[in-house]
Structure 1
Amino acid sequence: MDKSINKSMLSNFYEEEVQAICVVKENLTKDNYKEENFEKYLIYVEDIKHLENIYNINEKMILNIYNKTDIEIGNKVKIDLQIKEPKRNTNPKLFNYKLYLQTKDIFSTSTSRGNNIEILEKENLNSFEKTSINFRKNVSEVLNKSLDEKNSMLMKSIILGDSSFLDEADVLKFRKLGLSHILAISGLHIGIIFGFIIYILNVLKVHRSKSMLISIILIWIYGYLVGYPPSVLRGSIMFSFMILANITSYRYDSLNILSLSGLLMLLYRPLWLFSVGFQLSFLATATILLFTPRVKDIININNKKIKDALIIIISAQIGTLPLVIYYFNELQSISILANLMLVPLLSISLVFSFTTLIVSILSIKLSIFIGILTNAILNISNFIADILNNFTYLNITIHSPSVLEMLIYYFIIFVLLKIIDISLLEKKVQRFMFTSFIIITILDTVISSFNSYTKIEFIDVGQGDSCLVRFKDKNILIDTGGSIMNSFNIGENILLPYLQKTGVKTIDGVFISHFHEDHAQGLISLFGNINIKNIFASYKDSSNDLYRQVVEEANKYSVPIRLVTEGDNIKINKSSYIETLSPPIDVDHLDDNNKSLVFI
């Protein structure tokens, strides 16, 4: 089912060539594309000209330019482009780019060769947009002067909620340690900033009610400057209601306010419901509120600060686990330890970094001095993160759970924490529930063990091919897809996540038709992540870079590469085998396509 809400005028011009007048709002070009004559922008389309007719649009759109240009943020430009419908995901449970854009109120993308661009105005931003851009520039400049390069990149990511400042290896490290929430501006950040502002105002002897009012105003301003991600908006709304309750002496009910915050946000932008950030933010907050009092009774630690921190971390981890596994397919085994050790250090670094930004207005030298202290703390946190990262091999890859599995998980947690107290039920009802659960579990196991069907799944890998064949006790993969025209990694972004989400941990045989990128490149990403028992191919080609890379990786992970030709039969199980139809034994005189492996 397509979860789109079509309120786009641009959708009427999909696949049409138009001339657009638009304002450049944001540069989305990643560093690894900057040398490839490719640029990517977020633009605000004011008008388009199509077939001599001019239409007033006023809508955001993604612009991809396959050329190098002089476009800058704030430019108002006239440009020839083709409007396109964003691609939705055609593989179940994988990232849906179309829906992702819609959660940001973007319904169209476009492409341009960039040959005919006219800059109409250099600066076409309103005062609020200019303030936001200047804020980001000032944050970058001050942190670059005050901190080491690596630490500056990390703090810019945390303060601005933009992980693009970090390289992919660091982002992956944070994810594997269960610290991705640090790189998004979460409720934790808002709480730290709010507490920091309150503390400063208290030192300045500002009356408490006034200091709380000033603090929430500053929080809303900060939210605007960083673009109001869902977690910031949620935190701002909740803190606003908390202050209102404090001033008016009304009772503050956190769960009711959380629900009201969610309702208000969804009324403003309904598709946020499908945003991973929105889901995790609200789920983490809700489960902290629900689970903390129960977990508190279980943990027996004398040190109150450590106990309180551990209770919150465990509550959030237990509460968000099904959703984290659904989206990222990994149980981070040392996440609790990583959060307990690194969140306090990074929280202190966040406070020091904000202090640096404020002090820099008065004295750059003093801000650099504070930066020395911040560097020291961040160096310690980086050292700890690097040590813990050596143990992420203990993480467990898990398939994406179904809705039923998630409901069962939460029911068990609610029972264990006595949020649902089944002891209040009659003994007969308790016995019925327990017996039903055992019977359903046994039946599911028995039915699965007798299930002998063969399932064929065609995986959408773009231009190339990939097909997964599931037998009762075996899995084979026919080709792995890949990309010829661009640097998008099909194996890493489509094939591997698909296999992980569907619970495939072992492939008994990978059959490669021929060693062209669109048929075999994705195999590289599977090594070390999926247990591959055999690779079958019809020829060797040491002059082919991809072939040599496959051989190198296969040798590294002790995966045999077996050559098959016309007439060879490969047994799958008692009732299934593969018969090779082509190529013949002598393939030296054939090109790669005619050497291709063909079988039934």
Structure 2
Amino acid sequence: MKQRPLIVFTVSWIAGSSAAYACSGSRLLLLIAGASLLLAALGMYRRDFLRTVIIIWCALAASGAYWELQEAANVSKLPEALQAADAAQMDGASARMTGMIASAVEVDGDRADFVMSVRQAVPIGGTAANGKPNSRDAGTSTGSEPMVSEKVMVQVKLKSRQEQEAARQWQRGDRVRISGSLAQPQSARNFGGFDYRQYLVTQKIHWLFKAAGASNVQASAPSGIGMTLLLRWNDQARNGLSGMIDRIFQEPHAGYMKGLIIGLQDDLDPETYAEFSQLGLTHILAISGMHVAVYVGCLLYIFSLLRLSREKSLLLVMLLVPLYVLLSGVSPSVVRAGIMSMIGLYAARKGLLKDGLNILSAAALLMLLWNPYYLLSVSFQLSFLVTAGLMVYVPLIHPQLSFLPSKIAGAVGVTLIAQLVSFPLTIYYFNQFSLLSFAANFVLVPFITFLVLPVGTAALLIGSLWLPGGKMLAAAAEWLDDLSFWLVKWMNGYPQFVTIWKSPSPVWIASYFIALYGLLYFGKGWSLSRRQMAVEPDATVPLGVPPAARRPEAALPSRTKTRLAAGALGGLCILIVLLYAGYQPEHFRGAGAVQVLDVGQGDSILITTPQGKHLLVDGGGTVSFRKAEDGWKERKQPFEVGAKVLVPLLKKRGIHRLDAVIVTHGDQDHAGGMQAVLEQIPVGAFLFNGTMAGTAAFDRLMAAAVDKDIPIYAIHQGMNYDPDGRTQLVFLGPVLSQTDQEALPVVKDQNHDSVVFLLEMNGGRFLFTGDMDKASEEQLLETLDSGRFGEAVADNGQTVDDRALQTVSELLEAPVDVIKIAHHGSKTASSAEWLSRWNPAAAVISAGVNNLYGHPHADVLQRISEEGAAVYRTDLQGEIQFSVKSGKIRVRTKLITKS
């Protein structure tokens, strides 16, 4: 490292920036002071490392200060411009903003999104978006308002097809005046959930600006020439290439080719993307170093055919690389590859020493100086980490693959190292890893890179000049695509190879890379020690071969071989321990947990028992009231709470298998999200209320359970379920319906037949009520008060002794610790008699923020208050977690609300 100061400086810069991100203020100063003392001691102890110590200290101090300066500048100026006291006062405020469109415009269904660079902002009187009176003065821009320099994310709700077509005409660089309302971006509402607000902050965006209809957007063409106009032309070029691909290729190949050739993934078939994602192949669809290398190689080959000199060819390619970076979308991975290729081409032209790690370090440092928030980009992290890993680890693993032919060994080494190096970040961000990923990448990456990509690109180029010729070549590319799709689908036919991992800690990730390096480093030494030349004493040997090398047993001392073997074995053992520990799901150290997830206007509750069993009660769901004639409003990938919120949360917590799912009833806001759960996570049992909802969505859910061979149980009063020795579920409803029909009855009003059960776990008692209505509450109270519940248990056909019945009776008589308020706090349930019967210490309500139904109702809140129970609400507090151990319950909420 003494000979590579740039690498030392860049690594230290990244470390300092990371420390500044994790800490701030006095904590950061203490951290830098501690690092300074440690480095000073190292410099005094090892004088030969003094220069390296100085480089590390300078990089740490400079990067920490640079990050803090960027953070200090990354604040919103809009509250001052709009005369607001704070951000809370601005949330929902109406305003008129003047500025420029600073990004490509995305029109999807009934919404148009783009980033706006604001120059002026004035408050508008009247009613704000949240319905509260706006006390600010009404007015339009007079030109005397103070100038603002800030970006906002604009969301325009389109009202008609005509507005949709008008929005498609908006372009980057257009001058716009927009009237709308401000809203704070959504922060994470579940533990481990996606934080959209923090993501936008890294883009230096602090507000959403929502406009109702395209009529509130006045756009005009830009004037002058600048970088924005250049990017506008680039958008037009990308759109032109996208349109040409649509004319040359048929669907679904057109959307796939857009992602493969120019990095546009908007039209990619969601099912195809999901299949590629499951095998760890999405990097193929994102423009990266692989694409840049093919592009550079093709250009150099073409220029050689044109008999250009080496120097001219290198110079031309170096000038053309930025054009490809622009056309492919300027993602962090392609920017990294572009910078590295330009530095490498310049070094080759000048005959300078080409050191890959130095070039990589220079690219990283340039990008972080330009935008330090690149450090938080998943694309940036994966791109640089995998590239560095290939440079460091491939030479270590190559000797251990010497038994393979050289070309195959090279491909195996690169693929294996790419998988091993990307694995920690893959499970950290995406929480799943396919054991078939290596095979898929080994076969498909070269196939797509060196066959599909060139043929598809050639079809695009020829089609731009001669459409029939492009279509003929596109037919060959489509045939290759079909082969790729078939292989991906075939590999995805083995879901048992998909493993789910909780997000590991930074310490785990660092330990993994150290252990991996140790394994490969010592493994290389041990492998080389076994491959020393073995020749006869009188044989002819190459000059320079030492005599000891002629006898393999004398090539290295046995003690050295033992140390190398022990080092490799130690690294392997540490890796195995890390992988075992990392694969375990989140646990609560012997406690049980009831996690009321925030899924908007719906219910979803995850129960983790003391012995690690997982039960999911309901899955939330997205309810749509869209009419058939409003099909134009449908988005390419509509938001679905099960796929977008619930499944990622379960994976984030490392849940490999749900021992049971309980669908309390068939309404979409409880059952809809369960479809994605059944499709992506193994399920041991499917429990429901024994009726069909009569909807296509619920029919699909039941069909999915049947297709997956999941045992299905119709729940009714008197049944019980014991997931482990310290957890018991006693089902109180619905009442078993007496019918001679073989088919399940179709019940439109599902609320009355909701599954109701009492959970006793580690001494804590929870009552789950689904959406039960007042009539079912009264029916159950009558059953309990009359003592007929024991008859229901007996009628269920279970062999229950008197002692067990006594235990159940005692369970039903005691107060509950927590009650889940039925139907999101609707006034049609949770009567005073019901609450008094259970005498809860706490009540939890699952409802959506600013929902259309006014849940929870004020009368229900009043009745809970009169009962003396504490109230927890997902609309105010986000996810609510109850941890139970030895009869004691601890509560934590994702969001902190003011009393």
Output the TM-score relative to the length of structure 1.
Answer: 0.86
Asked whether the 8 Å contact 2:500–2:654 carries over to 1, the reply is: yes
- The separation in 2 between residues aligned to 1:335 and 1:290, in whole angstroms, is 21
The residue number in structure 1 matching 2:414 is 312
1:105-143 alpha-carbon deviations (Å, 9 max, x no partner): 433323222164253414568530332023113322433
C-alpha contact (below 8 Å) 1:18/1:83 kept by paired residues: yes
Indicate the RMSD between aligned Cα atoms, in angstroms: 3.9
| Aligned counterpart for 1:73 among listed residues 162, 167, 170 | 170
Counterpart check, 1:452 vs 2:551: no
Corresponding position of 1:202:
304
Would you say 1:134 and 2:236 are equivalent positions? yes
The correspondence for 1:470, drawn from 584, 608, 613, is: 608
Aligned-residue offset at 1:418 = 0.9
In structure 2, the CA distance between the partners of 1:427 and 1:148, relative to structure 1 (3 Å rule), is closer
Q: Residue 56 in 1 paired to residue 147 in 2?
A: yes
Equivalent position SS for 1:107? strand
Kept in 2, the 8 Å contact 1:100–1:275? The answer is: no
In the alignment, is residue 561 of structure 1 matched against residue 713 of structure 2?
yes
Please tell me the residue identity of whatever aligns with 1:564.
H
> Which residue number in structure 2 is paired with residue 576 of structure 1?
727
Paired position in structure 1 for 2:500: 398
1:485 Cα shift?
5.0
Aligned mates of 2:511, 2:230 — CA distance in 1: 47
Distance 1:19 1:584 in 2: 57
* Residue 186 (str. 1) matches residue 288 (str. 2): yes
User: C-alpha offsets along residues 57-98 of structure 1, whole Å, 9 cap, x if unaligned?
Assistant: 344333222223222222433322122222232334443333
Q: Deviations over 1:400-426 (max 9, x none)?
A: 341344334323321221169799799
Q: Shift of the alpha carbon at 1:197?
A: 1.4
Q: Is the 8 A contact 1:223 1:232 kept in 2?
A: yes
How many equivalent pairs are there?
590
Give the Cα separation in 1 of the matches to 2:97 and 2:575: 63
Q: What aligned pairs does 1:166-177 form with structure 2 within 5 A after superposition?
A: 166-177=268-279
2:255 aligns to what SS in structure 1? helix
* Residue 202 (structure 1) shift: 2.0
8 Å CA contact 1:86–1:109 kept in 2: the answer is: yes
Q: CA deviation at 1:43?
A: 3.4
Alpha carbons 2:182, 2:208 under 8 Å: kept: yes
Q: 1:516 aligns with which of 667, 688, 710?
A: 667
Cα distance, 1:186 vs structure 2: 0.4
CA contact (8 A) 1:496 1:525 kept: yes
Contact persistence 2:279–2:433 (CA under 8 A): no
Cα distance in 2 for partners of 1:259, 1:108 equals 34
Superposition map of 1:298-447 within 5 A: 298-300=400-402, 304-347=406-449, 348-355=451-458, 364-365=465-466, 368-369=468-469, 372-394=472-494, 395-403=497-505, 404-418=507-521
Matches within 5 A, 1:134-283: 134-283=236-385
Q: Helix, strand or coil for the counterpart of 1:44?
A: strand
Contact 2:620 2:670 (C-alpha < 8 Å) held by counterparts: yes
Q: How far apart in 1 are the matches of 2:678 and 2:580?
A: 35
Q: Secondary structure at the match of 2:280?
A: coil
Does 1:496 find its partner at 2:647? yes
Measure how far apart 1:500 and its partner are: 2.1
Residues 118 and 296 of structure 1: is their aligned pair in 2 closer, same or farther, counting only changes over 3 Å?
A: closer
Go from structure 1 to structure 2 and tell me whether the alpha carbon gap of 1:161 and 1:60 turns closer, same or farther (over 3 Å shift).
Answer: farther
1:203, 1:283 → 2: CA distance? Answer: 36
String of CA shifts for 1:317-340, please: whole Å, max 9, x gaps. 121112122222332333333333
**Match for residue 114 of structure 1 among 209, 213, 231:** 213
Q: Select which of 28, 31, 35 maps to 2:106.
A: 28
Please tell me the residue identity of whatever aligns with 1:335.
S
Offset, 1:527? 1.5
Structure-1 separation of matches of 2:486 and 2:112: 33
1:541–1:547 contact (8 Å) kept in structure 2: yes
Aligned match of 2:622: 483
Report if the CA contact (8 A) 2:690-2:715 is conserved.
Answer: yes
- Aligned to 1:390, what secondary structure does the other structure show? helix
1:480 partner SS:
coil
CA deviation after TM superposition for structure 1 residue 258, in Å: 1.4
The question of 1:91 aligning with 2:91 is answered no
Partner-residue secondary structure (3-state), 1:418: helix
TM-score, normalising length from structure 2?
0.59
1:23, distance to aligned residue in structure 2 (A): 3.6
Deviations 1:500-559 (CA, angstroms, capped at 9, x unpaired): 222222323323343332222111112243333334444624435554444333333333
The aligned counterpart of 1:38 is 111
The question of whether the paired residues in 2 share the 8 Å contact of 1:22 and 1:47 is answered with yes
Q: Are 2:607 and 1:530 aligned? A: no
Residue 451 of structure 1, CA deviation: 5.0
In structure 2, how many angstroms separate the alpha carbons of the residues matched to 1:102 and 1:118?
25
Residues 182, 209 of structure 2: 8 Å contact kept: yes
How far apart, in 2, do the equivalents of 1:15 and 1:183 lie? Answer: 38
Matched position secondary structure for 2:122: strand
Counterpart for residue 881 of structure 2: none
The 2-side partners of 1:561 and 1:2 are apart by 48
Structure 1 residues 131 and 444: alpha-carbon distance in aligned structure 2, compared to 1, 3 A threshold: closer
Structure 1 CA distance for aligned equivalents of residues 694 and 150 of structure 2: 50
1:329·1:500 contact (CA, 8 Å) conserved in 2? yes
Letter aligned with residue 132 of structure 1: N
Q: Where does residue 8 of structure 1 map in the other structure?
A: 76
CA distance 1:176–1:573, shift in 2 (3 Å): closer
Cα drift, residue 215 of structure 1: 0.8
Q: 1:273·1:279 contact (CA, 8 Å) conserved in 2?
A: yes
Secondary structure of 1:165's aligned partner: coil
**Structure 1 residue 377: deviation in Å?**
4.0
The 8 Å contact of residues 460 and 470 in structure 2, kept in 1 or not, is answered as no
Unaligned runs of 5+ in 1: none
- Contact kept, 8 Å, 1:283 with 1:320, in 2: the verdict is yes
Quote the Cα distance in structure 2 between the aligned partners of 1:525 and 1:122: 44
- In structure 2, the CA distance between the partners of 1:571 and 1:83, relative to structure 1 (3 Å rule), is same
Change in Cα spacing, 1:14 to 1:165, as seen in structure 2 (3 Å) is: same
Cα pair distance change 1:427/1:206, threshold 3 Å: closer
In the alignment, the residues of structure 2 paired with residue 434 and residue 60 of structure 1 have an alpha-carbon distance, to the nearest angstrom, of 48
